[in-house]
Structure 1
Amino acid sequence: MSGFDERQRAFEAKFARDEDVAFRITARRNRLVGHWAAEKMKLTPEEADAYAKAVVQADFEEAGDEDVIRKLLGDLTSAGVEISDAEIRQTIEAKAVEARRQFIEEQN
């Protein structure tokens, strides 16, 4: 195997690992956002867990965060919670930081 092939395989392995980490952090972030929204909607702990899983699933509808934002905004509004798109986006950013921190702490 040439040095080029070894570098290429190492690059591909790193890329796959980085993608896996990004996926895990995003899923964790969505779960945290789901629990945040469930708390605002005053759901029971069991309902909150189910709702957090539904938010994670909603992220598979399309690329980006718009599917998650749409779900959260629709569900919160239907539950009578007054909230803006901007507040949801801000919370998603804050939960992304928290999810990344939690992930890093678990790796150490």
Structure 2
Amino acid sequence: MTTFDDREKGFETKFALDQQQEFTAMARRNKLLGLWAAEKMGLSPDSAEEYARAVVRSDFEQPGEEDVFRKIAGDFKGSGLSVSEGEIRSKMDEFASMSRDQVRAGE
């Protein structure tokens, strides 16, 4: 193998690892977001865990994070809570940053 082939393989490996870490971080973000939303809606601990899993699953409906946002916003509205789009998106960003740091740290 040439040095070029070795470098190419290294870049491919790094790309795959980065993609896996981002997937893991977003799943973790969605779980944290679901637990936060469940707390705001007053769900019991068992129901909160179940709800958080539903939020994680909602991310597989469409590419991007809008499906997660729609689920959370719709569930808040359905439970009679008035939570702004800005607050939800701010929590999404906060939990995404936290999750990425945790995944990079191997937690």
Q: Please indicate the TM-score interval, normalised by the length of the shorter structure.
A: over 0.9
Displaced runs of 4 or more, over 4 A? none
- Which residue pairs with 2:78 in the alignment? 78
What letter is aligned with 1:60? Answer: F
Structure 2, gaps ≥5 residues long: none
Give yes or no for the alignment of 1:89 onto 2:83. no
Q: How many residues align?
A: 107
- Which residue pairs with 1:68 in the alignment? 68
- Which residue pairs with 2:30 in the alignment? 30
- 3-state SS of 1:25 partner: helix
Alpha-carbon distance, 1:95 to partner? 1.0
- Which residue pairs with 1:56 in the alignment? 56
Give yes or no for the alignment of 1:19 onto 2:28. no
- TM-score relative to the length of structure 2: 0.93
- Which residue pairs with 1:7 in the alignment? 7
What letter is aligned with 2:90? Answer: Q
Structure 1, gaps ≥5 residues long: none
| Cα distance in structure 2, aligned partners of 1:9 and 1:85 | 42
Contact kept, 8 Å, 2:29 with 2:99, in 1: the verdict is yes
- Which residue pairs with 2:46 in the alignment? 46
| Cα distance in structure 1, aligned partners of 2:58 and 2:34 | 11
- 3-state SS of 2:81 partner: coil
Greater RCO, 1 or 2 (C-alpha within 8 Å, sep 6+): 2
Note the alpha carbon deviations across 1:28-68, whole angstroms, 9 max, x for none: 00000000000011111111001101111111111111000
- TM-score relative to the length of structure 1: 0.93
